[in-house]
C-alpha cells in the first residue's frame, strides 16, 4: 500500500480536500504492516513562514517511519515543489525529518526529488547517518535544484564509503558538472564504493571534464558496473566516441547503457546526432560483443546517416542485443529499412526488443524477418505511426509460424478488415488439426500502444 502525505499547510492541494495530513499521519503511526511506499510532498512558497506545527508534523512523520513495526516499508520519496523563502526554518524541518527517520532499517529505495533548499550542505551529513545505519538500502536518488558544493560531495562520498557494502544504484540529478567530476573521480580512485548502476541527468557533464570522467569510470576494469544512464546531458559526438571507446575496452559488456536526449545548452535536441552514432559504431568495429546488451540512444536526432553503421556492427555480434531503443529520433522509412537489411541474412542477431516509436516511419518490411525460423525478434514498437495497409496485412500473415514475437505495436485506428482476417488465421489456423497446433501461440499484443 502507498501513502501520500502533504505538509499541513498544503492540505488544500490534495485531490480530496476532505483528507487531512494528520489523518494520513495517524494511519502511518498505526504501523500498518501493508505500507510499502511513502511519498511526502512539501510545496514551498516565497511568502510562507514555516510554523512550529509543520516542524512537529515532519518530526512525527520521521519517527513513524523509523518504527521497527513498518517492516514492509521499502520505498520512501520526498518531493519538493516551488521556491522557498529565505527563512532558514524551511531547511530545518527537513533536517529534523532526516534525523528522526534515520533509525529505519527496512527502506531499500530513498529518493529526494528537487531539493530546493536554501542550504543542502547541512542535510547531506544527516543522510550519511541513514546510509551508514541502514544496510538494506539499495538505491538512492538525489535531485538538487541548486547544485552541490565540494564539501557536499565529500560528505556524500564519505557517507557512501561508511557502509559495509556499496549501494546498488545512485541517481545524481542537477548536481552540477563540477560536482559530478568530483564524485566520479572519487569513485575511480575507490572502486569498492562505486554503485553498479549510475543514473545522471541535467548535470551538463560535457560542460567540464565530466564526459572524460564518465569514460574513465567505464574503462576501469576494477569497477563492477552494470548500468549507466546519461539523460539530458550535454554530450556531443566527441563525447559519444569517448564513451564508446571506453566500453569497447571492457572485458565484460555493460548490461545497460542509456544515452537519452543529449542536447546543447540552447536546447537543440540531437547534439550527438548522426555524427555521434557513426563514431559510436566505429568504436565497436573490432569487438562488437562489448556493446551493452541493452542499448538506448533516443532523442538524439539520429537521421539518415549513421544508423546503417550501427546495424553493420550489430550483425557481427556472437549473440543479439536484449533491447535496442531508438525512439524519438529522425529515422524515416527508408533509413529504418536500411537498418534492417543486414539482419535479413542473419535474423538470429536482430535485437530481441526493437523500439522505433515516435519516428516518421510508415512502411517497414519486417514481415520477411518474422518468417525466418531463427528470428530473435520478440517485440517491435512503431507506435504511434500509421503503418500502410498492405504492410500491416503482410505482418499479420507472417506471424503464423513465428515462435518468438510477443508484440508488434503501431497505430491500430485504421487496421484493415483483411488484416484482422489474416491475424486470426495466423493465431488459430482452422484448416486442419496440425495447422491449428502449429499456429502462433506467443503473440500477446498487436497494433496497440504498450502500457
For the stretch 344-367, pLDDT in tens is 999 999 999 999 999 999 889 899
Strand bridging mode 109-115 / 407-409: unpaired
Is the pLDDT score of 320 beyond 50? yes
Q: Which residues of 220-247 are buried (b: 16+ CB within 10 A; e: fewer)?
A: beebebbbbbbbbbbbbbebbbbbbbbb
Residue 438: which pLDDT band, with cuts at 50, 70 and 90? low
- Mean pLDDT computed over 48-72: 76
Is the pLDDT score of 88 beyond 70? no
Question: Distance (Å, rounded) from C-alpha 116 to C-alpha 146?
Answer: 7
Neighbours of 285 (CB within 10 A): 12
**Hey, CA dihedral for 400, 402, 407, 413, is it positive or negative?**
negative
Tally of CA atoms within 13 A in the half-sphere of 265 that contains its CB = 4
- Asked which of 7-21, 165-179, 193-207, 430-444 is least confident by mean pLDDT, the reply is 7-21
Residue 292: which pLDDT band, with cuts at 50, 70 and 90? very high
- Please write the tens of the pLDDT for every residue from 168-188: 999 998 888 888 889 999 999
In the chain, the N- to C-terminal Cα span, in Å, equals 21
Pick the closest to residue 1 from 103, 101, 75, 104 (CA basis): 75
Overall size of the chain counted in residues: 451
Q: How many helices (H) and strands (E) does the chain have?
A: 15, 15
- Asked which of 170-179, 337-346, 436-445 is least confident by mean pLDDT, the reply is 436-445
Provide the whole-model pTM. Answer: 0.87
Tally of CA atoms within 13 A in the half-sphere of 100 that contains its CB = 18
In contact, 101 and 129? CB cutoff 8 Å? no
Neighbours of 29 (CB within 10 A): 16
Per-residue model confidence (pLDDT) at position 388:
82
Is the pLDDT score of 282 beyond 90? yes
Average pLDDT, the chain: 82
* Residue 435 or 432, more confident: 432
- Mean pLDDT computed over 316-331: 95
For Cα atoms 357, 289, 283, give the angle at the middle one, nearest 5 degrees: 80
Is the pLDDT score of 340 beyond 70? yes
Question: Distance (Å, rounded) from C-alpha 305 to C-alpha 314?
Answer: 16
Question: Distance (Å, rounded) from C-alpha 250 to C-alpha 247?
Answer: 5
Amino acid at each position: 500500500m502507498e501513502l501520500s502525505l502533504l505538509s499541513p499547510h498544503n492540505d488544500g492541494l490534495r485531490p480530496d480536500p476532505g483528507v487531512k495530513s494528520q489523518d494520513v499521519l495517524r494511519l502511518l503511526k498505526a504501523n500498518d504492516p501493508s505500507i510499502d511506499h511513502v511519498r511526502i510532498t512539501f510545496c514551498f512558497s516565497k511568502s510562507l513562514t514555516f510554523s512550529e506545527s509543520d516542524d512537529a508534523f515532519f518530526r512525527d512523520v520521521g519517527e513513524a517511519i523509523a518504527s521497527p513495526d513498518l517492516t514492509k516499508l521499502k520505498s520512501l520519496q520526498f518531493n519538493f515543489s516551488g521556491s522557498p523563502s529565505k527563512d532558514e526554518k524551511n531547511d530545518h524541518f527537513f533536517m529534523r525529518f532526516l534525523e528522526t527517520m534515520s533509525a529505519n532499517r527496512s527502506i531499500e529505495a530513498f529518493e529526494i526529488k528537487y531539493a530546493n533548499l536554501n542550504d543542502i550542505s547541512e542535510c547531506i551529513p544527516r543522510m550519511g547517518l541513514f546510509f551508514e545505519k541502514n544496510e538494506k538500502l539499495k538505491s538512492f536518488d538525489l535531485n538538487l535544484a541548486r547544485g552541490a558544493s565540494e564539501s557536499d560531495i565529500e560528505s556524500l562520498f564519505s557517507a557512501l564509503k561508511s557502509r559495509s557494502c556499496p549501494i546498488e544504484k545512485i541517481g545524481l540529478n542537477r548536481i552540477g558538472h563540477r560536482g559530478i567530476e568530483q564524485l566520479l573521480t572519487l569513485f575511480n580512485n575507490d572502486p569498492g564504493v562505486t554503485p553498479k548502476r549510475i543514473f545522471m541527468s541535467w548535470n551538463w557533464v560535457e560542460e567540464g571534464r565530466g564526459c572524460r570522467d564518465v569514460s574513465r569510470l567505464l574503462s576501469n576494469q576494477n569497477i563492477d558496473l552494470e548500468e549507466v544512464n546519461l539523460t539530458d546531458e550535454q554530450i556531443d559526438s566527441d563525447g559519444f566516441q569517448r564513451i564508446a571507446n571506453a566500453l569497447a575496452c571492457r572485458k565484460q559488456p555493460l548490461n545497460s547503457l542509456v544515452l537519452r536526449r543529449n542536447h546543447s545548452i540552447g536546447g537543440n535536441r540531437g547534439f550527438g546526432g548522426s555524427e555521434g552514432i557513426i563514431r559510436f559504431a566505429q568504436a565497436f568495429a573490432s569487438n562488437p560483443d562489448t556493446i551493452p546488451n541493452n542499448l538506448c540512444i533516443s532523442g538524439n536526432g539520429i537521421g539518415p546517416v549513421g544508423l546503417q553503421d550501427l546495424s553493420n556492427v550489430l550483425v557481427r555480434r556472437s549473440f543479439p542485443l536484449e533491447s535496442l531503443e531508438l525512439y524519438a529520433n529522425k529515422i524515416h522509412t527508408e533509413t529504418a529499412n536500411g537498418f534492417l537489411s543486414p539482419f535479413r541474412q542473419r535474423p538470429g542477431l536482430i535485437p530481441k526488443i526493437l523500439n522505433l516509436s515516435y519516428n516518421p516511419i510508415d512502411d517497414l518490411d519486417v514481415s520477411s524477418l518474422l518468417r525466418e525460423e531463427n528470428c530473435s525478434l520478440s517485440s517491435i514498437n512503431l507506435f504511434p505511426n500509421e503503418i500502410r495497409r498492405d504492410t500491416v496485412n503482410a505482418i499479420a500473415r507472417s506471424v503464423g509460424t513465428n515462435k518468438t514475437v510477443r508484440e508488434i505495436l503501431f497505430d491500430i485506428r485504421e487496421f484493415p478488415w483483411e488484416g484482422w482476417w489474416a491475424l486470426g488465421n495466423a493465431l488459430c489456423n482452422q484448416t486442419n488439426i496440425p495447422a491449428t497446433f502449429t499456429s502462433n501461440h506467443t503473440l500477446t499484443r498487436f497494433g496497440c500502444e504498450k502500457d
